[in-house]
Structure 1
Amino acid sequence: MKIAVDAMGGDHGPAPAVEGAIQAAQEYDVGVILVGDEAQLRDQLTRTHCTDPRITVHHAPQVVGMHESPAQIARKKRDSSIWIATELVQSGAAQAVVSSGNTGASVVSAIFLLDRIKG
């Protein structure tokens, strides 16, 4: 199983997401795709001395801030970490997406890219 992680969405930068990815890979034997600014994510992985091949990085140049309107994500933030992480699920490259960022942006990206469950 691979999990796409919006590593730029939280209040404290990518460090907690990277630490969580390392822990998840070790404890649950899952693959993790960290989505966000590649330079920042690789720097954080280097700082933690992580060389685990189950953890990869997928570049996303934009971030959705906590106070941004979720309605704008589909129009103006298709290069954001949450949008791209959700696209990875849509394409089958990942089986789940996780974000500690803007909840509305997470919902909007899921509705646009993954649709809704019938019922």
Structure 2
Amino acid sequence: MAESNENPDKHLRPPEPDKLYLISPPCSPPSEWEQRIEAPPLVDLNLLAAIAQLQPNESHQLLPRDHNTQTPSIVIDTCEDSNDVEINESLRKKLIRPKFVQTRRPLHDQANEHI
């Protein structure tokens, strides 16, 4: 192994993380396993546009119920986005910091002193 003047450290460095989102090697890779570069996530612009056109506080039926096959219908119920900062802030604090309730200590019983 040739020494490099750029890196005085003699340890190997990991490869540059070029678009490696969630791929990791298996615990015991098969004999022909090779690391590959994962493509970036796909963004469906048509889906985003359709979601943006939904009106708040309305139901939108995507797939009506088919009575012949007993399949359920698919309905999206949208809700209005609240701009109330105080409610959002208090909800965020409750989600981040749960309240721990301390367990009561048992009463001191003279009859069970020997335990």
Question: Which range, TM-score by smaller chain?
Answer: under 0.3
* Structure possessing the higher relative contact order (Cα contacts under 8 Å, 6 or more residues apart): 1
Instruction: Using structure 2 for the length normalisation, give the TM-score.
Output: 0.21
**Greater share of strand residues, 1 or 2?**
1
| Greater helix share, structure number | 1
